[in-house]
């Protein structure tokens, strides 16, 4: 039987992914919400094993070895063979959780989480509008305090701008970067607000340079991708958000705050993205960017807490005498 929090030793937990930041954040966030110190595992299977995933065997990896954890959380297709292997080798003692659709029937795992825009459903599938993340209100407040002096000269309200980049679904070229910068410049002037702009790695140095140049005369601070990332601090300081629509994670994280969120359109999209965006709009958390700055409220979305609660229920059920 899996150890419980009532015993002397704390629960152990692994986050296992192929290293993608979006996947890893979800695993780490849930483990942290459970009060488990995460052990980070990143796998790099070879070409043949990648092609066979999720159905094929796990590629040999000396870092994936017993003692097996009490809780295993995986995300991404390449992590699925390891989840299947660990569940089998631990004789089911390791609680195996999958973030996002595993590409096979969910009954092969103890719990599967998917966002609402994914079609997968099942008795052991938990569904939420947004993705689990590492945000906590305490973290945002603490990070914000470290940057209060930096933003002291900006007009209020402060609008935090979260920028993604090009992907298989969306285009974000220099042309889109210039349009975004121009729209942000006009937005700040029209509404008399300050901007805290955080590009991501997908934005790239070249497009970040365009944003910095075009917003140089605006009441804006643009992170240059080279210093310490102020992402959490800028989220904590925000009175409202503008988020490029290409990132499920960033849009979802913004709705954790309960603050107004504007989604900024980029060329492209898929049916999945559209379902996700429409769900947030219908919920009342998100509106499409149109240059205005309004104030509205909604119940914050917190998928991390919901998933952690579902895992606690399973752990508690296992701990009961049969």
Task: Judge if 283 and 312 occupy the same domain.
Answer: no
> What domain range includes position 98?
13-129+303-319
Q: How many CB atoms lie within 10 A of CB 100?
A: 21
Q: How far apart are CA 57 and CA 23, in angstroms?
A: 21
Task: Give the model's pLDDT for residue 1.
Answer: 43
Q: For residue 224, what is the domain's CATH number?
A: 3.40.50.2000
Query: pLDDT (tens digit, 9 = 90+) per residue, 82-99?
Result: 999 999 999 999 999 999
Looking at the fold, whether 36 and 84 belong to one and the same domain comes out as yes
Q: Does 145 lie in the same domain as 125? A: no
Sign of CA dihedral 122, 123, 129, 130: negative
- pLDDT for 32-78, tens place per residue? 999 999 999 999 999 999 999 999 999 999 999 999 999 999 999 99
Residues 146 and 275 placed together within one structural domain of the fold: yes
Q: What's phi and psi for 195, nearest 5 deg?
A: -120, 135
List the chain residues with pLDDT less than 70. 1-8, 322
Residues 112 and 187 in one domain: no
Question: Residue 97 falls within a domain, yes or no?
Answer: yes
Looking at the domain assignment, is residue 250 inside a domain?
yes
The whole-number pLDDT of residue 2 equals 47
**What is the C-alpha separation between 267 and 225, in angstroms, rounded?**
24
- In-domain check, residue 297: no
Question: What does the pLDDT read at residue 8?
Answer: 62
In a domain, 6, yes or no: no
Residues 120 and 148 in one domain: no
The confidence score (pLDDT) of residue 6 equals 47
Residues 104 and 163 in one domain: no
In contact, 17 and 110? CB cutoff 8 Å = no
Long-range interactions of 216-220: CB distance < 8 A, separation 24+: 218/184, 218/185, 218/188, 218/189, 219/154, 219/155, 219/188, 219/193, 219/194, 219/195, 220/154, 220/184, 220/188, 220/194, 220/195, 220/196
179 and 124 in one domain? no
What are the start-end ranges of the H helices in 17-63?
21-33, 47-52
153/270 same-domain check: yes
Angle 93-97-121 from CA coordinates, rounded to 5°: 125
Q: What is the DSSP letter of 197?
A: E
Residue 7 covered by a domain = no
Q: Is the pTM higher than 0.85? A: yes
pLDDT of amino acid 4: 46
């Amino acid at each position: 039987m899996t150890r419980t929090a009532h015993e002397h030793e704390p629960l152990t937990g692994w986050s296992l992914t192929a290293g993608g930041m979006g996947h890893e954040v979800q695993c780490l966030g849930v483990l942290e919400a459970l009060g488990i110190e995460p052990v980070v595992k990143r796998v790099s299977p070879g070409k043949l094993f990648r092609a066979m995933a999720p159905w094929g065997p796990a590629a040999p990896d000396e870092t994936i070895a017993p003692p097996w954890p009490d809780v295993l959380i995986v995300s991404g297709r390449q992590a699925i063979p390891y989840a299947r292997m660990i569940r089998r080798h631990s004789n089911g003692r390791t609680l195996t959780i999958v973030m996002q659709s595993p590409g096979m029937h969910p009954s092969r795992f103890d719990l599967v989480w998917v966002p609402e825009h994914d079609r997968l459903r099942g008795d052991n599938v938990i569904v939420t509008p947004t993705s689990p993340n590492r945000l906590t209100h305490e973290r945002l407040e603490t990070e914000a305090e470290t940057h209060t002096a930096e933003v002291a000269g900006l007009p209020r309200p402060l609008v935090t701008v979260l920028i993604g980049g090009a992907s298989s679904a969306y285009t974000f070229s220099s042309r889109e970067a210039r349009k975004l910068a121009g729209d942000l410049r006009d937005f700040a002037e029209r509404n008399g607000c300050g901007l805290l702009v955080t590009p991501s790695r997908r934005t790239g140095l070249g497009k970040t340079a365009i944003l910095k140049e075009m917003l140089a005369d605006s009441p804006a601070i643009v992170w240059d991708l080279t210093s310490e990332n102020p992402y959490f601090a800028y989220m904590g300081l925000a009175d409202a958000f503008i988020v490029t629509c290409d990132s499920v994670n960033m849009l979802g994280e913004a709705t954790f705050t309960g603050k107004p969120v504007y989604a900024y359109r980029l060329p492209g999209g898929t049916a999945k993205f559209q379902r996700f965006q429409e769900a947030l709009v219908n919920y009342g958390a998100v509106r499409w960017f149109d240059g205005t700055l309004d104030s509205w409220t909604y119940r914050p979305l917190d998928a991390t807490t919901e998933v952690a609660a579902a895992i606690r229920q399973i752990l508690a059920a296992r701990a009961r005498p049969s």
